[in-house]
A and B are shown apart, each in its own frame.
Chain A
């Protein structure tokens, strides 16, 4: 195996990783703060993709307008997230996980059918934005610019979220809500609003990643369920609710998947699940998590 081949596998793994991180970060955020496992997070991701496609059709039916479309789609999904939180999730906090699971699974089914109803079952796709359509030579490999952009945006989002949580007043409020919701309430904070905001941010990130994936993958029904399983694995590996855990969980997932294919061709997912099993046996709370 030549170094350039290994490098290109590595870059492929990194792309997978950063995409997964974009999606899983929102899942981890909501679990970390509200202790809710939102299986409908993948549905938000799918809606981000469909809405981006829809926005491109409206804005520039001949192509282009990708960035604006992606932003609009992410904002719309953020709004959808805020609405579902206000209407439904609010009554799930503090309930048993089983109720959360059943409710969010119902949401997966409803949103999945809604997407089929609105956009049909055909594959849809969006072309790569012209500015990033080219590629560059790196260490003897050809790297599409769009891939490099995705690899850059993962750490940027991770750092941005870290700054938001640890260096801003709003972030301090969120961390206080995570530690002791009732006390924060007694100090005068409307914790419900904080929760809605966090949920909207989480949905926004899911919608954004859905929109950003469209130049690389086609938009199809079922992409919601496919991604939520992967995002969930990443969050579990990294430790539920830990942002950096989710980041490194994604990196490990991407690389194991990318190099696992070389070792067990045809069983690409096997290595990932084996990894998850090993981690859960050794550290049931994940790499960066804390024992519950």
Chain B
């Protein structure tokens, strides 16, 4: 774990969460520093999405703390978390299907009420495909276009941390390539990102640090480079 003297932007401590009686997270701890891209890696059903939903306030944790700039936000309502500066890009994209591209972005700006550098003009620059589609309804976009709109929509709230849940899921390889370029550009602009992924290549191409999640606990944590270079370790952690 990188040692920094400043406070981490997000620190999750011993997080426990459950859907009813079925427990999903068993003491997950992780932290994200400002400017970092951290990846939560793991197979389907290990608790990546649950961790993100707990941070967002959709699923109040049954134990542990979620510290956002030092304040415990566990149990806050989603809109309060969003207004505090955490932007969520859900895996199923959740575009407002009957609103146009422009309306989707406008609604997001009104929802978060956070001013900053991300305006409609700025997200159009990051995703040049969007201005061409501005009048099209969200439901009529391709999967890749929707994924870009979802990220752009979340950016409209000027978040300080972006939670990206499985952005590459269900997209064609070429589209994933394009998405990678966009997210990397975002990272270069200084955006802090917590990424949940099953795709090892995708996440290792972006992440500075990696947490490998298994059955609701952190099994490995280290710099992404270590996992990238060590085929054996990667197989050991991820092919089980």
Contact = CB atoms under 8 A, between A and B. Distances in A.
A186 B90 contact: yes
Contact of B99 (A176, A186, A189): A176
A187 B99 contact: no
B157 interface: yes
Given A172-B106, A190-B79, A184 B99 contact: no
Contact of A188 (B58, B96, B98, B114): B114
Interface residues of B, number: 28
Contact of B110 (A173, A179, A186): A173
B107 interface: yes
B153 interface: yes
A86 interface: no
Given A172-B103, A182-B58, A183-B90, A189 B96 contact: no
B108 interface: yes
Residue from B104, B107, B110, B114 whose CB has the most chain A CB atoms within 10 Å: B107
A195 to B, nearest CB: 13
Contacts of A190: 79
A126 B117 CA distance: 58
B90 A189 contact: no
Interface in A164-199: 169, 172-173, 175-176, 179-180, 182-191
Nearest to A194: B111
Contacts of B153: 187
Nearest to A166: B103
B107 A176 contact: yes
B97 interface: yes
A210 B214 CA distance: 61
Given A175-B99, A180-B94, A186 B106 contact: no
Contacts of B79: 185-191
A116 B222 CA distance: 73
Contacts of B96: 175-176, 179-180, 183-184
B88 interface: yes
A218 B103 CA distance: 46
B82 A186 contact: yes
Contacts of B107: 172-173, 176, 184, 187, 189
Q: Pick the most buried of A175, A187, A188, A191: most chain B CB atoms within 10 A of its CB.
A: A188
Given A172-B110, A173-B110, A173-B111, A186 B97 contact: no
B103 A186 contact: no
Contact of A187 (B58, B77, B112): B112
B56 interface: yes
Contacts of A179: 96-99
Interface in A75-91: none
Q: Which of A172, A185, A186, A189 has the most CB of B within 10 A?
A: A186
Contacts of A184: 96, 107, 111
Interface string B49-92: 00000001010000000000000000001110011000010100
B226 to A, nearest CB: 33
B203 interface: no
B83 A188 contact: yes
B54 to A, nearest CB: 13
Contacts of B77: 185
Contacts of A176: 96, 99, 104, 107, 111
Interface string A237-262: 00000000000000000000000000
B113 interface: yes
A187 B99 CA distance: 15
A187 B98 contact: no
Contacts of A188: 79, 82-83, 108, 111-114, 157
B168 interface: no
Interface in A240-292: none
Contacts of B157: 187-188
24 contacts: A172-B103, A173-B110, A173-B111, A175-B96, A175-B98, A175-B99, A176-B107, A179-B97, A180-B94, A182-B94, A183-B90, A183-B96, A185-B79, A186-B90, A187-B79, A187-B107, A187-B111, A187-B112, A187-B157, A188-B108, A188-B114, A189-B110, A190-B79, A191-B79
Interface of A: 169, 172-173, 175-176, 179-180, 182-191
